[in-house]
Amino acid sequence: MKVYNFSAGPSMLPEEVKSEAQKDFVDYKGSGMSVTEMSHRSKWYDEIHMEALANLKKLMNIGDDYAVLFVQGGASQQFAAVPLNLLVKGRADYVVTGNFAGKAAKEAVKYGDCIVAATSKDKNFTYIPENVSFRDDIDYVHITQNNTIFGTRYTDRTYPVANAPIVSDMSSMILSEEIDVNKYGLIYAGAQKNIAPAGLTIVIVKKDLLGHEKDYCPTMLSYKTQADADSLYNTPPCFTIYMAGLVFKHLLKLGGVKEIQKINEYKAGLLYDFIDNSSFYHNYVNPADRSIMNVPFVCNSDELNAKFVKEAGENGLVSIKGHKLVGGMRASIYNAMPVDGVKALIEFMKKFESENK
Ligand SMILES: Cc1ncc(COP(=O)(O)O)c(C=O)c1O
């Protein structure tokens, strides 16, 4: 049975990328070795690593005034690394738009005067706060660009205005829509949704923010350590970076982020239109703040939600159960989810509605 995986992460990878990795797996381009067993100091791996860094720069139009880092520890590690590296005056403001944003803010409090400047908790994180005021004299403002669990995202309308660098957690939207990197001081993202298998975290940091880490900042968490060593200070997750490199090449071949964004908007549009025209399914997010990556929805009762998840799975639409903080369903439709996957979900939703109305 054809399976479409709606998991929030780790998530689907492009079929072409998986086939290519399979072809290379045992003998990478005549080296007689798999990438999984190669030295990270070998010429083969060096090429893979440097090409992946260069292609990410190309895809996101990243200038030479930014360092691109491949690190480990997940986006969660960045909740600590960001304040450890960027707090100089010792103050930062956080906008809490969901679970992960809350975790980031909570972690930062350990290292300085970090406060929640605004939150959308009052309406169960169904919107992005607008026109937020930030304190003067802060080191940065932290936002979560796409809220994976609650299905909201930042747009130009809600983009924060502050006299400080903006730090953005882009874990669940990186490479899904065009963004202007120059508007950010730092961007970070776990790779396991739009880029690669788990194990790699991307950090894009303005070079003038490097080198101010606290003296007790662990060496491995110092952005300068990683930047100075081209992210080869220690053994990187070589195979995951190799997979990321294949995904970057695949995206470039498809026409880059601009083209991917069109497809993503089309896919999300199909699903939201269907939900909005139904009285059986509901999405409670403020329409202007809806994510194009994670689409939460519910039926009219917990029993129907549970039945939906079970029967969807039996029909090849897997991992569609919503996060426990929200309940119901969540369709994560990252870059690698084909249009046909979204259409198959909508067909199933129609059938389920007619059988359970
Ligand atoms: C927006 C966001 N931030 C952070 C995380 C945590 O990422 P990791 O598991 O890589 O630490 C997630 C995971 O789903 C996420 O969606």
Residue 172 CB contacts under 8 Å (≥ 6 apart), including other chains:
8, 9, 146, 147, 148, 193, 194, 291, 293, 294, 332, 334
If asked whether residues 238 and 117 sit together in one domain, one would say yes
Atom of ligand 1 nearest to the CA of 146: 1
Looking at the structure of the chain, the number of domains it has is: 2
Kindly state whether residues 43 and 191 are assigned to the same domain.
yes
Of 253, 268, 293, which residue constitutes the final position of a domain? 253
- Specify the 3-state DSSP secondary structure of 203: strand
What is the CA(194)–ligand 1 centre distance, in A?
12
Q: What is the pLDDT of residues 308-353, one digit of tens each?
A: 999 999 999 999 999 999 999 999 999 999 999 999 999 999 999 9
Decide: helix, strand or coil at residue 292: coil
Compute the distance from residue 172 Cα to the ligand 1 centre, in Å.
Answer: 7
Counting every residue written for the chain, the total comes to 357
Are 243 and 278 within one domain? no
Atom of ligand 1 nearest to the CA of 73: 11
Dihedral sign, Cα of residue 43, residue 49, residue 53, residue 55: positive
Domain harbouring 309, CATH code? 3.90.1150.10
User: Relative to the CA of 190, which ligand 1 atom is closest?
Assistant: 10
Mark whether 203 and 129 lie in a shared domain: yes
Q: Whose CA is nearest to atom 5 of ligand 1?
A: 75
Do 158 and 177 lie in one domain? The reply is yes
> Both 31 and 151 in a single domain?
yes
pLDDT of 336: 98
Q: Rounded to an integer, what distance in angstroms lies between the CA atom of residue 236 and that of residue 68?
A: 14
Residue that the structure tokens 């039996």 belong to: 314
Give the DSSP per-residue string, 119-133.
E-GGGTT-S---S--
Q: Among all chains, which residue has been given the structure tokens 């509901």? A: 282
- Per-residue pLDDT tens over the stretch 91-115: 999 999 999 999 999 999 999 999 9
Residues of the chain with pLDDT under 50: none
Q: Where are the alpha helices (DSSP H) in 190-282?
A: 223-228, 238-253, 257-276
DSSP 170-186: -TTTTTTS---GGG-SE
What does the block give as tokens for 290? 């809806």
Between CA 298 and CA 326 the distance in angstroms is 9
> How close are the terminal C-alpha atoms of the chain, in Å?
27
Does one domain contain both 111 and 240?
Answer: yes
Output the CA torsion sign for 87, 88, 91, 94.
Answer: negative
CA of 104 to the centre of ligand 1 (A): 10
Domain boundary among 192, 218, 253: 253
Question: Residues 51, 178: one domain?
Answer: yes
State whether 219 and 333 are in the same domain: no
The pTM assigned to this predicted structure is 0.98
**Pairing between strand 317-318 and 4-5?**
parallel
Assess whether 301 and 168 both reside in one domain: no
Q: Residue 147 CA: which ligand 1 atom is closest? A: 1
Residue of the CA atom closest to atom 10 of ligand 1: 74
Atom of ligand 1 nearest to the CA of 98: 1
What does the pLDDT read at residue 289? 98
Determine contact, residues 146/153, Cβ cutoff 8 Å: yes
CA distance 290 to 131: 18
**211 plus 341 within the same structural domain:** no
Substitution site in 148, 152, 153, 221 for ligand 1 pocket (most atoms within 8 Å of beta carbon)? 148
Closest CA to 332 of 271, 289, 282: 271
What does the alpha-carbon distance between residue 228 and residue 316 come to, in Å, rounded to a whole number? Answer: 46
Residue 44 alpha carbon to ligand 1 centre in Å: 31
User: Looking at the structure, do residues 329 and 238 belong to the same domain, yes or no?
Assistant: no
pLDDT recorded at residue 111: 97
Domain that holds residue 107: 16-253
What pLDDT is stored for residue 1 in this prediction?
86
Residue 151, domain CATH: 3.40.640.10
**Among candidate residues 208, 229, 253, the one where a domain is terminated:** 253
Q: DSSP string spanning 100-117? A: HHHHHHHHHTTTSEEEEE
Task: Tell the residue nearest (CA) to atom 9 of ligand 1.
Answer: 74
